[in-house]
Structure formats: structure tokens, C-alpha cells
Amino acid sequence: MSTLPIPASSGFAAFQLQASLQAAIDALGFHSPTPVQEQVIPQALAGKDLLVSSQTGSGKTAAFLIPLLQRLLSSRNSAMRLPSGPSILVLSPTRELAQQVADDAIDLLKGSRGVRVATVVGGLPYGKQLQALRGADLVVATPGRLLDLYRTRKIRLDQVVHVVVDEADRMLDLGFAEDLQAIALASAQREQTLMFSATFAPRIMQLAEKLTKDPIRIAITALNQPKPDISELIHLADHESHRIKLLEHYLSDSSVDQAVIFARTQVECEQLGEKLTAQGLSVTYLHGALPQSVRTRRLNAFREKRVQWLVATDVAARGLDVPSISHVINLGLPMKPEDYVHRIGRTARAGRSGVAVTMVEVSDMRKLRAIERVIERRLENSVIPGLEPKVRPLVRNAGKPSTRPPSRSRPQSFGQSDREFPRTERPAIAKPRSEGWQDRSSVAKPRRLESAETRSQPSRGSGFAGFASKPGSRSDASPRAGQSRWAGKRVNSRA
Ligand code: AMP
């Protein structure tokens, strides 16, 4: 099933875009606008300020780029000259997202001559960025470095006409509120501001009040709307080594095309990345403390499918748009419940389906419930035969055989109320909870996983030593040779 819409009869033609822009959209294979594009493009073309909430993967980047590039292209036709400052400024919370947006803009500008795009992000040398800024019409920037350049008079913002604040909620999380206001002041002459956010929480509304003028609110999807193409699997884990066994299972799953493994900390990210690399997996790792040049190189290696696995912290939770990510594996739960939605949104992109695996230890139960409150639904526990959890405080029937006939081809799943009862109080039969959660004691059916499970037994013996293991214990530690087309494809993750 696709997350993208069934083609609308009008397609993009209704927007009467410049021929070169329309041709680029066609070349990208965008036959019809997604819901967010349908609503945003006409209003943005009309010059309105907008406050948009839309889910990750909804096509929101093109929703703001297409109308703003259209306006830029149509105005440039009459006055061709090199600008002394950008007319479009897109603000992104992270360097990775900024790069992704700039890449999308470049794709949309293929065939449009003379429009320049520059990226301004921290952690990279100034020289190249300053060079790219010369004559740039569209600048995609993270707030800190942009302000730095503005304050040292390396960039002018007095010609900015359109400002986009992308992922405003994330901006606030990262403490960019003041920087955003300073940038808004520096570009006070702008005619239009578009703000995108996952939610319309009060703090977002306060920011919108400061940055926008009478914005039109467009709410496309809420965080609590499940993406039907993602099979979400929750694996209860007893302890660290159980998590590693669960991870090991997926590492040897040949249905994984590409996968992101979210580590809980930078240290865990680094240790796991190193460990898997040492074991010959096609892996790289990414976290915020690495130099930007390294982050970019590694991300590109992953984007270009030169590596199969990316171990990352939440720095990769947003903006990573790689259609071949078939699996997202959460080694633990994110600090902020919303980030669960962003993380799993890395898979099932561009009309594909995906699997999101989350390992939950007892100490994570509170976080799991917070996530369930955000997404307004329960997440099913799934068990990989042979890797069932043993310790189950507050778990009603985990470890018992599923009520369904045993199947080795699929992870088994326990009723949703499983986590609700201490062992001493647990009722004999799983029942739906009174507040209306369905008792979905069903078997989770990740599409790709089925075939993998049929093929492989739980990979206890596959030899992945895990990142907690001692050095030197890895002689037989590689996943089964020849199991995946990535096997043996060794990449220097520090490249
Ligand atoms: P975004 O929400 O901006 O991260 O976009 C998610 C994915 O959808 C990206 O891979 C886009 O290239 C793709 N996309 C955006 N608009 C369309 C469209 N109209 N038709 C098909 N794919 C699209």
C-alpha cells in the first residue's frame, strides 16, 4: 500500500508551473500532488503565510519547494541578474535535513538555468559555503551558522522574500527559538513565511505568532495516524544480551534491504558501529559529535547504497529520505515520544512498505506508554520463536504460546493488555481493556519478514558477538556468509 495518494485527475498541471519545473517534477515521477501538496501549493503560490502540520514522508518538502521555486522562476524571467542575497531562505533544524532539502531543490531545478542553491550548515569549513553563497537564490540553512554568517556580514538577508521554517517543533527542541526570531528580524522585509511542524502544540503556535502574519492553518495528518505501510513490532527484551540476540536476528535477515539501527546513546552508537564493522558487516555509523564532513560522507555512503546498515542516534530520525530503507530497528526507545514516529518514518517511504522493530526492556515501559499516548494506539508485543522474553514483570502472558497455532514463519504477538497486569494480578485469559483498546492478540505480519522467518531460525547461533562482548570473541562472528547480497561488502565506515 502506498502512503502517497492515488493520482488526482488534475495532477500538477492545475498549478500551471513553469515548463522546466513541471518537467523536473515529471522526471522525478511525481504524477500527482500528495495531500499536503494539494493544499499547500495553491496557497503558497498565492503568497499566503501558512502553518502546516504534516507527517514525515508526506511530501512536505516539495510542498514548499515547488511553489517557491515557481515564484522565483517566474520573477527571474523578467529580471535576470545575480542577486546579492537569497530570495528564498529555508531553515532546517539539522544539517542532514538541510542537505536533503537542498538536494530536493536541485532535483526540482534540473532544467531551470541560472538558479543557484546553497547550503549553510555548521561543522563545515566556511570557505566553500561562502563561495556557494555568491549569487545564491535559495539558501537552505541551519539557524546557528546562518546567524553567524549574517552577523559577520557574510550573507545579506535583506532581499529574502520567502522564509520556510521546516520542522519547527524540532527547532524548538534544539533551542533555536531565539535564533529564529533573530533571523526573522533580519529578514523583516520578507513577504511570506511558511512554517511546518509535526504538531500545533501551544509552543508552536506562540512561535508562529512571532514569525507569521495571519497564517492559514493546514493540518494534513496528525502524529497519531499510523502509516499503514509500516509493520510495527515490539520485542520485550530481558536485558542487554537479549537485545543483542534480537538484533542479531535481524542482522541475518536477508529481507533487509537497508536499515537504520537507532542506538540509545552516542557511545552505544559508536561501539555498535565499530563492532559490526569489525565483524564484516556493511555498516556505517552517525551521531552528532562526529565532524560534519564525516557525517555527510557516511550519510552519502548510506544514501548511495554503498552500505547496508546505518547505526545512528536521533540525529538521523528526521530528514533521512532513502526509499530502500526496509527496516528501522530501535535498540531502545527515544527520549521524546514523538521521535518514535519520526524514527519509524524513515522506512516505508515513496510508496514502499517497511518494518519498524523496537526493543523494550522493563525499564522502558513508561516511555512505551508515552509513545502509545502520542500515537493514540497500542503497540503489539511480538515474539521471535526461540527469543521469547523470560523476565516479564507487568506482563500477563508473555512467554506463553500464542493462542494461534504456532508458526515459525512469523513473530508471534501477545495481547495488548499484556503489559498492564503485575503477574500476581493477571487474569487467566487476555481480555480487552475497559477503555476500549482492542485485544489484538494477533500475529504480526511484516510482509518481508515472513519470508525471512521461514528461511531462518532465530539467529542465536549466527555468532554476532554484540557490542557488549569482549574483543577477540569475533572469529566466527559474522552473520551467515552469503546470506545477503551485502555480505562481504566491506566498507570503511570512517570513509
Ligand atoms: P518528504 O515528506 O518531503 O520527506 O517526502 C517524502 C518522499 O515522497 C520523498 O522521497 C519525495 O521524493 C516523495 N514525493 C514527494 N512528493 C511526491 C509526489 N507528488 N509523488 C510521489 N512522490 C513524492
CB atoms within 10 A of CB 153: 7
Q: At 472, is the secondary structure helix, strand, or coil?
A: coil
Model pTM score: 0.59
At 400 the pLDDT is 38
- The residue whose CB lies within 8 Å of the most ligand 1 atoms, and thus the one to mutate among 2, 3, 4, is 4
pLDDT band at residue 339 under the 50/70/90 scheme: confident
At 380 the pLDDT is 83
Mean pLDDT (whole number) for 45-64: 90
Q: Whose CA is nearest to atom 18 of ligand 1?
A: 30
Q: Whose CA is nearest to atom 10 of ligand 1?
A: 350
CA 56 to ligand 1: nearest atom: 2
Mean pLDDT (whole number) for 153-162: 96
Stronger pLDDT, 322 or 64, i.e. the higher one:
64
At 324 the pLDDT is 92
pLDDT band at residue 285 under the 50/70/90 scheme: very high
Mean pLDDT (whole number) for 267-295: 93
Q: 320 C-alpha vs ligand 1 centroid, how far in Å?
A: 12
At 225 the pLDDT is 63
Q: 319 C-alpha vs ligand 1 centroid, how far in Å?
A: 12
At 223 the pLDDT is 58
Mean predicted lDDT score pLDDT of the chain: 78
* Sign of torsion over alpha carbons 483, 486, 490, 493: negative
Q: 471 C-alpha vs ligand 1 centroid, how far in Å?
A: 43
Stronger pLDDT, 483 or 11, i.e. the higher one:
11
Stronger pLDDT, 337 or 79, i.e. the higher one:
337
CB neighbours of 418 closer than 8 A, spacing ≥ 6? 381, 395, 396, 397, 398, 430
Residue pLDDT, tens place only, 349-405: 767 889 999 999 988 999 999 999 888 888 989 999 999 998 764 543 343 333 333
At 35 the pLDDT is 86
Mean pLDDT (whole number) for 335-346: 88
Decide: 68 and 45 in contact? Cβ < 8 Å.
Answer: no
Q: 57 C-alpha vs ligand 1 centroid, how far in Å?
A: 6
Residue pLDDT, tens place only, 200-242: 888 999 999 999 999 999 988 655 566 678 899 999 999 999 9
Stronger pLDDT, 145 or 438, i.e. the higher one:
145
Among residues of the chain, what percentage have pLDDT more than 70?
Answer: 73
- Indicate whether 152 pLDDT > 90: yes
CA 12 to ligand 1: nearest atom: 19
pLDDT band at residue 458 under the 50/70/90 scheme: very low
Residue pLDDT, tens place only, 4-39: 443 344 489 999 999 999 999 999 989 889 889 999
Mean pLDDT (whole number) for 143-157: 96
Q: 350 C-alpha vs ligand 1 centroid, how far in Å?
A: 6
At 297 the pLDDT is 92
CB-defined site of ligand 1, < 6 Å: 4, 30, 33-34, 37, 57-62, 321, 349-350
Burial 163-174 (b: 16+ CB within 10 A, else e): bbbbbbbbbbbe
- Indicate whether 489 pLDDT > 60: no
**Using the 8-state DSSP alphabet, how is residue 275 labeled?**
H
pLDDT band at residue 182 under the 50/70/90 scheme: very high
DSSP string, 11-62: GGGGG---HHHHHHHHHTT--S--HHHHHHHHHHHTT--EEEE--TTSSHHH
At 340 the pLDDT is 92
- Indicate whether 406 pLDDT > 90: no
Q: 313 C-alpha vs ligand 1 centroid, how far in Å?
A: 24
Decide: 231 and 353 in contact? Cβ < 8 Å.
Answer: yes
At 390 the pLDDT is 85
Q: Whose CA is nearest to atom 6 of ligand 1?
A: 57
- The residue whose CB lies within 8 Å of the most ligand 1 atoms, and thus the one to mutate among 61, 167, 196, is 61
Closest CA to 167 of 223, 125, 114, 129: 223
- Indicate whether 472 pLDDT > 70: no
Q: 437 C-alpha vs ligand 1 centroid, how far in Å?
A: 33
- Indicate whether 279 pLDDT > 70: yes
